[in-house]
Amino acid sequence: MYELIQITDRTYYIQSPAKMGLVCLDDKDVCLIDSGNDKDAGRKVRQLLDKNGWSLRAIYNTHSNADHIGGNKYLQAQTGCKVYAPGIECAFTKYPVLEPAFLYGGYPPRDLRHKFLLAQESDAEPLTEDALPEGFSLIELPGHFFDMVGFRTPDDVVFLADCLSSRETLEKYQISFIYDVRAYLETLEMVKGLSARMFVPAHAKAAEDISELAQCNIDKVHEIAERIRDICREPMCFEDILRHLFNIYGLSMNFEQYVLVGSTVRSYLSWLRDNGRIDVEFADNRLLWK
């Protein structure tokens, strides 16, 4: 874990629970794409930097989930590097309590105020094209989270953040976190058509061709949507829909799964409702999906 994997003369990724990118900007300066899930991840990155005689100029966050920004604060304090994050993600990076609060729908209980959902705040600036190193380009990847982006490096390596999951992850967890189902499907269709020297997803193996895995993720979204529609053949409240899905997919309920899967299921319900594929009714002071 935290092994430095070289892809090209200039571009590397760091093998970790959420892969980080490392790109050499010149003989001394480098930038990071994401920073890992906590202070310990930041320390491991700092060790790699010191071992290779590199100076960290900037961290470019793909989005604000805690496992992608958790090392920001430590690395920024140690190196003085800049931190950039796109759109709404910049606010979440500066004020990370927004993530568990958003997922829970209110002030999060202490069960959700931990490093896996609540990173330390960092002094982030808005990510714009002008803030990128020469030769880099942004790839908009909305859907998984609010304003998630990927990056294409000057040597044609594409970092895809969390826009798709490995087959193993899909089989194990079944319901991957999605904020906006419509945008997520559009992103995956776009990614299917991309070409690059190498693709580096955060939670799947680096590969020269990502199209089949993108289609696998698309198929899983449609499968889950049909499961929800089947469950809603009889009017049903959200909690019962969630319970049925956990039972169908053999998932175990805890606070983290309740908010992560629960938020995702609400997003599916919104998408299905907007498309006219399910309806709602209010009965006995309950919102029922049908």
Would you say residue 1 has pLDDT above 90?
no
Tell me if 219 is assigned to some domain.
no
Query: For residues 31 and 69, what is the distance between their CA atoms, to the nearest angstrom?
Result: 14
Q: What is the pLDDT of residues 57-72, one digit of tens each?
A: 999 999 999 999 999 9
Is 108 inside any structural domain? Answer: yes
For the chain, give the percent of residues with pLDDT over 90.
100
- In one-letter notation, the amino acid at residue 161 is A
pLDDT band at 8 (very low <50, low <70, confident <90, very high): very high
pLDDT in tens, 104-115: 999 999 999 999
**Domain assignment present for 14:** yes
Outline where DSSP puts E strands in the chain.
3-6, 11-15, 20-24, 29-33, 55-60, 82-85, 124-126, 137-140, 149-152, 157-161, 198-201, 280-283, 286-289
pTM of the predicted model as reported, rounded to 2 decimal places: 0.96
On the question of pLDDT at 55 being above 90, the answer is yes
- Residue 206: per-residue pLDDT: 98
**Are the C-beta atoms of residues 99 and 64 closer than 8 Å to each other?**
yes
CA distances from 147 to 79, 150, 163, 185 (A): 27, 10, 11, 15
Contacts of 171 (CB under 8 A, 6+ apart): none
Whether residue 43 is contained in a domain is answered as yes
Instruction: Give Cα 187 to chain centroid, integer Å.
Output: 13
Domains in the chain: how many in total? Answer: 1
Are 5 and 13 a contacting pair, CB within 8 Å? yes
Q: Which two tokens stand for residue 203?
A: 């939670």
* Residue 170 within a domain: no
* Residue 117 lies in domain: 1-158
